[in-house]
A = this chain, B = another copy of it.
């Protein structure tokens, strides 16, 4: 069974810092700045590019692709499909963030199209989004979850088996699901959902880890652990969600092996 080890997480982080893999993001307007900064703080090299005219060239340079439908429109969806197709041809990992799936039919349908056609390695969403993709009756409130992550594990398992994908569910405890394998990441802080785009940041960092670790399951769990640990470190310095954002980026930047070893709380199970 796969287990998540602080030493391997640290090794991935060192590789990201040393090689600075290019992570190509087609993401929403709200988080372009904050996710680019999170990727830079982690050690990766972010690029945001959405024009169909340059998708092929840009995917050609990238080590991972992150597709996020947070502020989607038909022209952007066209580019997302093209980018995922190019990533598939090139063999680089794709992370899909189905922001707001379950809130509108356009988002649910787009997310399912990208999932079935684009063959992402990892889907990273909140519980309501994963439920909306894996079950029929789930509802999402705008882009915020109405469900706990453990409620979505069964839906994640269905998605994982149907589409051959690793599913990463963020929440007070994060759940990473691949077939029968489950990793539960208990790091994090209640301030995190009070900052916009922390889920999108998790998806972006998942892309960076997927660029350096061939196991999608491990890459997803490593990213969620790093998110949670950085969140705990930031919360110790912040006076509210405004200062938290800056402290979170600082924590990503200076995260050391000692922080990871002392704070990591990940359990793996196989059912």
Contacts and interface: CB of A to CB of B under 8 A. Distances in A.
A45 B54 CA distance: 33
A91 interface: no
A250 interface: yes
A36 B30 contact: yes
B194 A104 contact: no
Q: How many copies does the complex hold?
A: 3
Interface string A49-86: 11101100110011000000011111100000000000
Nearest to A57: B104
Interface string A124-146: 00000000000000000111100
Interface stretch (A4-12, A21-29, A174-182, A263-271): A21-29
Contact of A196 (B37, B245, B253): B37
Contact of A36 (B50, B196, B237): B196
A48 interface: yes
Interface in A91-133: 100, 103-107
Interface in A144-173: 144
A31 interface: yes
A250 B242 contact: yes
Given A37-B195, A54-B105, A73-B50, A45 B142 contact: yes
B104 A54 contact: yes
A260 interface: no
Q: Which of A54, A104, A242 has the largest number of chain B CB atoms within 10 A?
A: A242
Interface of A: 20, 22, 24, 28-34, 36-37, 40-41, 45-51, 53-54, 57-58, 61-62, 70-75, 100, 103-107, 141-144, 193-197, 237-243, 245-251, 253-254
7 contacts: A37-B242, A49-B100, A50-B73, A57-B103, A62-B142, A242-B250, A243-B249
Closest 8 CB pairs of A and B: A242-B249, A240-B250, A47-B142, A57-B104, A242-B246, A54-B104, A36-B196, A54-B106
